[in-house]
Amino acid sequence: MENASLFPKTTKALLDKKAALAPDNIDAWRNFSKAVFKAGALDEKTKQLIAVAVGHVTQCPYCIRAHTSQAMRKGASKEEIMEAIWVATEMRAGAAYAHATIAMDEMEKHHH
């Protein structure tokens, strides 16, 4: 894999070592994560589709893998997953364009 050094393979040993460095924090995060992804007003599939979209916006390869897999386990189709990714794409592009208002405001201060 071309990015192997940038994104190392996740192993149980590596995850255990990482967790051991801050055990209270990892326990709190794991409990928080379980609570967030539990069915509530939104079902589990919808929450996983949101996570897939957000993973693309935050550009977290680990999140993309994990939540795409979870979304499929919760019944999401490939088409639903791709639509969620396109929503993320539009939001990321839209946010960049929306922030052009800041550049416009700054340009207006310079009447060259």
Over the stretch 4-58, which tens digit does the pLDDT of each residue have? 678 888 899 999 999 999 999 999 999 999 999 999 999 999 999 999 999 999 9
Per-residue CA distances from 97 to 92, 94, 102, 107, 110 (Å): 9, 5, 10, 15, 21
Q: Quick one: 80 and 97 in the same domain?
A: yes
pLDDT at 38: 98
User: By the 8 A CB rule, do 61 and 7 touch?
Assistant: yes
Whether residue 89 is found in the same domain as residue 109: yes
Query: Mean pLDDT score of the chain, rounded to an integer?
Result: 94
What is the domain extent for residue 101? 41-112
Q: Nearest to residue 55, comparing CAs of 45, 66, 46, 64?
A: 64
Report the predicted TM-score, pTM, of the whole model to 2 decimal places.
0.84
CATH number at residue 108: 1.20.1290.10
DSSP 13: H
Q: Are 49 and 21 found together in one domain?
A: no
Residue 63 domain-assigned? Answer: yes
pLDDT score recorded for residue 4: 65
Domain-embedded: residue 5: no
